[in-house]
A and B are shown apart, each in its own frame.
Chain A
């Protein structure tokens, strides 16, 4: 038995397995919940690292569930994009739940904390599943698990806002899933396959016979995944959901969950649908304009918010726009920028949400206007927030700069400097809402609750520090992650 050859399955199954063990542990061995959860995610993370190395050394590989080769069995395909996304999900996911192991204690009732770990592990497993599966129906199943788990980690905090936000999210998510399933049906109807590779082979022929069918499927896919990824104007659920949830949930939702759908969309658009079909309808144009609007309007909404988490949530809408901008431009650099931004934004936004969570944990203050002087009393989260803010604005030597660089380069490559203007304007808008917070934090006298915060436990400080270090590190040495991103983009574009 060679364990390393089963990693693609194990990376999903191990968190899934422990997700089901967790209710039992929560009943009898409460103190084991955290170590077991961390252990399961660490395992997935190590597996993801190993797979990333393998894919870089020997190229994409696949794994057949139950030894059934495709088109009969479910195939897990580890290509560059999948390995990259799995690495992001498990790595950032690990840090978030490490932080959460302390933060949740004050946000949730003691009896539901065990369930939180179940949901979290399910969420991680399903996200990894979405990015590595090579089978569209399998993807649908993971999408549903992901949707329910994501709603679950919001509604588990039983406040009015959370329940309501979770319900809204659930309804829209189900709509999205429905659209996705309908698209799967349409595709299966004309190709007879569920496996991406086989589907992609059969599609050109099918396109000649049933072009309308495919266009409808494409539209449904974009709407379905767009709702889940909160692509403007389908974002209405996001601000409530991400701001009311417990901080670790907000972090994982904003940093990872919405990105996973973007990865799914990238895979479907670039690898499954024939390029001619994308030419038939201005799909990419639509995505481009939607993402541009998302970038600008998301930032504008963020400016007027006074709740720190709501502001971050709106900022996520803008940031997911960057990812889709990279997808829509269809040039190598832009795609690199878009994919890289998945990683960079995961780092930044999780850090920002965790820092916001730390503020709330320490002081109970959520209003931006009351956070004056927090930099004096809670320096580490404030510095992390500051680094995150700079990265959001795109100051060089932070990772945000690198993704903006590639996106801008990409928009110049295809001769559309307009979209570069969009990026720059949004960076400016980001500056408008992030920098005053930073300034307030460091140049103001702390008042009331801010003056005497609860001390933060190590479990919360260390992930924050690692994340902020990561933002700087991947801003200075992006080449470590760029190798795999480049190959992913080249594979997607068929270069």
Chain B
């Protein structure tokens, strides 16, 4: 049914939006209904995305124009293999996080604000991945960025508000930079559609360069690119853990996704190779990797350490984009998957620990592995994957990335990846070691008698699924994310058609 197909993207974006309103009304009556609806919405969204699978794998590109805001400037949707992959990933993780939230958030205040926001950010995130032109992408990007502000400041502590303000200002800066880039693209190309048969900008010029830099700032801000990462380590830790998982696991990736679209659709690969502008991206990516990993070591707060680790990991993805060959791209897209799985596992596990013990600092976590073995086991799996130990998915993505770097003749990048993995080891392993073998100390010592249980099963199941995915997608030579990454990379290099 071709008809149904082309409406699906609209449905996927609109359904959560409508449900947001529904939830908003329902939550006045019943909390249970609210939670159920939130989970149901994310499940339905995930299934709807999944329904796109046959069409997309057959190489079909679904396009649908909703309406034109201005001449040549429409709200339109377009699903190709790359959109599909990321949408699938996001909706999947969103679903798990929604389930996780039910128990995590039950003790938090302001749930009536949290759930609608959770669902509408899902909608806008789907909108970003399924946008058919840069303008739609921009609209949903801004929507997501602004609304996730509410997630960031959910705790309403002074710390959170301060981090939120930083986040908000950076978002505005990023949004304006994107606006700048998009309008130059529109001026030069006459359109901002992603389904243009040829790249929108074909002539290098000052304006085109400005636009590139603007896109880099706009999307790089979101992706936590150096030097625009400053908001990230503040904003991610202060959010509630499920929200941190989404912020780090998914929302960072929208920036990378945007950059992919810009490089392959707005400029085109030949253009990029000819001008060599990606060198800028490569340089900042390298700095981002080293900086993120190195600073993470010095962090005492667990979630803050995870946030810095995200900065480092986003550096891999940006580096992958800058290399511009098939294997690097493949590694890069696969790393989007891997990092999403790993980082959400880590944040959700951290959340479970915080919920049960209230401990946020790493030095207090000694012996926690004996009290919450299951959670800590999942944490360990993800952390090992993060370091890049085979056979986890983190290893697979780094491996592919390195191969790509070798193909491109820059073994230097491989060295960077190695150093960074070493640093990752330096900051993840101590947590694990002290959790399982360390002595319990600190404030918790007096309350030795209080038995700390595992988190409720509604929280454990998502953690388990994610942790197992880390292992599974690394272990199996041919799995769905890997295939998708491969096809998407080929597709992008073909010029995106």
Contact = CB atoms under 8 A, between A and B. Distances in A.
Interface of A: 390, 393-397, 402, 404-405, 408-409, 412-413, 417, 420, 424, 427-428, 431-432, 435-436, 439, 443, 476-479, 482
Contacts of A479: 68-70
Given A424-B176, A428-B176, A482-B70, 9 more contacts: A395-B142, A402-B70, A409-B186, A427-B172, A428-B173, A432-B169, A435-B169, A439-B153, A478-B69
B168 A405 contact: no
Given A405-B70, A408-B183, A439 B165 contact: yes
B180 A424 contact: yes
Contacts of B165: 436, 439
Nearest to A435: B168
Contacts of B164: 439, 443
B493 interface: no
Nearest to B168: A435
B179 A394 contact: yes
Interface string B377-398: 0000000000000000000000
A445 B336 CA distance: 39
> Of B69, B70, B135, B146, which is in contact with the most chain A CB atoms at under 10 Å from its CB?
B69
Contacts of B173: 428
Nearest to B188: A412
Contact of A427 (B161, B176, B184, B210): B176
B135 A431 contact: no
B161 A443 contact: yes
B187 interface: yes
B308 interface: no
B422 interface: no
A397 B142 CA distance: 10
B183 A409 contact: yes
Contacts of A478: 69-70
Contacts of A402: 69-70
- Secondary structure at chain B's binding surface: helix, strand, loop or mixed? helix
Interface in B176-208: 176, 179-180, 183-184, 186-187, 207
A313 to B, nearest CB: 22
B180 A435 contact: no
Contacts of B135: 396
Range class of the B interface residue count: 20 to 34
A64 B172 CA distance: 51
Contacts of B212: none
Contacts of B334: none
A302 to B, nearest CB: 15
A46 B464 CA distance: 64
Interface of B: 67-70, 73, 135, 138-139, 142-143, 146, 153, 156, 161, 164-165, 168-169, 172-173, 175-176, 179-180, 183-184, 186-187, 207, 210
- Secondary structure at chain A's binding surface: helix, strand, loop or mixed? helix
A424 B172 contact: no
A409 B179 CA distance: 11
B234 to A, nearest CB: 15
Contacts of A393: 172
A409 B187 contact: yes
Contacts of A390: 146
B168 A439 contact: yes
A410 B461 CA distance: 55
B116 to A, nearest CB: 14
A412 B207 contact: yes
A396 B144 CA distance: 12
A412 B189 CA distance: 13
B175 to A, nearest CB: 7
Nearest to A408: B183
A395 B146 contact: yes
> Of A396, A428, A435, A439, which is in contact with the most chain B CB atoms at under 10 Å from its CB?
A396
